[in-house]
């Protein structure tokens, strides 16, 4: 059975490594291994002395203990380390679903959150719960979710803080969502790769792992902590039978986490709050710069301020953001991404706020806007 093209990753594979001015990255600024180890009080000699052996398939006890410490109501035994964060989506889809089951996915969304679930349940069995565009922000309507449900609905897939809109539900909406899932009898898969990144004025909400035993939570070190090259992710799975099924599927994929990943992840989690705070401060600075930029172009862009995460979804009044993005990348070295690749429309673009060079990239983009003929796009 064929799977849908992974459009976002095809796009980044084509352009990410040859465009110097990037405005659509979803991660945060990274740092050298030596700097990370120094922050954690470890050395390169410590790293170099590790033996490249097989590891515990679920992750080392020390690492799972550190991860459990990020939550309020998670036991280390509920944590399963992954070979890469996206593996967690695949494992959950395989362990949870059968062909013909229905899945509801909050949309737009990272491609894998749609395509991997559809690959398991079959064409037409994934329904999209679309955001509503408010005047100043993105909104969810639980009535829309109820209209999508059926007796075949098995799973609800959400992502908070949300990529690409930056939406974070209020505590009341989060509770209503959990109650709706419980009353309806379906499970929640919650992608929390951006958990802990919330902008000024956004209320704190707990992890879904702390609220419901009927949740499967995906998280990792790529986004909030700025360590995408580490490829460290984990699932929190409270249900014992489901967790054992996920581990069984994992034996067919990555088997166990790599030794270098575990060593560096342990170091990162020792200084997790420092890493998160660095990135939150950078996002706050870039958010102010972005707001100033969009205030100068109100006829061309529709800005809705993100509540958290490291991305925003911005309306762009051009015929096709996707066509324009390819022209910009190939002719100007500027990278933007159409929301169409994420299940949205081609008149919105994803904006990434987590990189150090965001101000310079935005400056280049504005210089181009002043000189360009957008009708060509």
Query: Above 90 in pLDDT, residue 377?
Result: no
- Dump pLDDT digits (tens) for 73-94: 999 999 999 999 999 999 999 9
Closest to 283 (Cα-Cα) out of 223, 197, 362: 197
pLDDT at position 374, please?
73
Residues in the chain: 377
The CA-CA-CA angle for residues 207, 166, 224, to 5°, reads 55
Quick one: pLDDT band at residue 110, thresholds 50, 70, 90? very high
- Dump pLDDT digits (tens) for 1-56: 789 999 999 999 999 999 999 999 999 999 999 999 999 999 999 999 999 999 99
How would you class 21 by CB atoms within 10 Å of its CB: exposed for 0-12, middle for 13-18, buried for 19 or more? Answer: buried
- Residue ranges per structural domain of the chain: 7-32+273-368, 51-270
Residue 375: other Cβ atoms inside 10 A: 7
**Within 13 Å and on the Cβ side, how many CA atoms surround 111?**
14
Q: Say which CATH class 7-32+273-368 falls into.
A: alpha beta
Query: Above 70 in pLDDT, residue 194?
Result: yes
| Residue 102: strand pairing partners | 153
Residues 248-256 have a mean pLDDT of 97
pLDDT at position 235, please?
98
**Does the domain made of 51-270 have the CATH classification 3.20.20.70?**
no
Counting other chains too, the contacts that 173-178 makes at CB distance below 8 Å and 24 or more residues apart are 173/140, 173/142, 174/205, 174/206, 174/211, 175/211, 176/142, 177/142, 177/145, 178/208, 178/211, 178/212
Quick one: pLDDT band at residue 375, thresholds 50, 70, 90? low
């Amino acid at each position: 059975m064929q799977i849908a093209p992974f459009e976002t990753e095809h796009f980044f594979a084509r352009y990410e490594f040859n465009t110097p001015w990037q405005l659509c990255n979803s991660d945060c600024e990274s740092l050298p291994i030596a700097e990370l180890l120094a922050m954690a009080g470890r050395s390169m000699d410590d790293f170099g002395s590790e033996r490249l052996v097989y590891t515990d398939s679920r992750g080392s006890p020390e690492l799972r203990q550190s991860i459990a410490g990020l939550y309020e109501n998670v036991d280390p035994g509920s944590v399963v380390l992954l070979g890469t964060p996206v593996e967690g989506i695949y494992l959950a889809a395989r362990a949870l679903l059968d062909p013909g089951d229905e899945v509801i996915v909050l949309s737009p969304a990272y491609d894998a959150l749609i395509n991997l679930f559809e690959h398991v349940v079959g064409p037409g069995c994934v329904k999209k719960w679309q955001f509503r565009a408010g005047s100043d922000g993105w909104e969810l309507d639980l009535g829309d979710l109820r209209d999508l449900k059926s007796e075949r609905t098995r799973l609800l897939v959400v992502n908070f803080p949300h990529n690409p809109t930056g939406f974070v539900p209020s505590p009341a909406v989060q509770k209503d969502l959990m109650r709706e899932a419980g009353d309806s009898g379906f499970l929640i898969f919650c992608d929390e790769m951006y958990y802990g990144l919330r902008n000024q004025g956004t209320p704190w909400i707990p992890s879904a792992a702390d609220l419901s035993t009927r949740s499967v939570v995906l998280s990792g070190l790529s986004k909030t902590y700025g360590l995408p090259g580490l490829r460290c992710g984990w699932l929190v799975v409270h249900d014992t039978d489901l967790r054992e099924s996920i581990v069984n599927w994992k034996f067919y994929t990555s088997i166990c986490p790599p030794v270098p990943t575990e060593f560096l992840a342990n170091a990162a989690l020792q200084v997790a709050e420092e890493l998160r705070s660095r990135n939150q401060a950078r996002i706050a600075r870039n958010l102010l710069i972005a707001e100033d930029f969009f205030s100068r172009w109100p006829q061309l862009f529709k800005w809705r301020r993100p509540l958290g995460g490291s991305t925003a979804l911005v309306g762009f009044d051009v015929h096709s953001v996707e066509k324009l993005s390819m022209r910009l990348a190939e002719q100007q070295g500027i990278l933007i991404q159409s929301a169409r690749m994420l299940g949205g429309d081609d008149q919105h673009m994803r904006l990434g706020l987590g990189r150090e060079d965001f101000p310079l990239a935005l400056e280049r983009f504005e210089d181009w806007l002043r000189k360009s003929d957008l009708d060509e796009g």
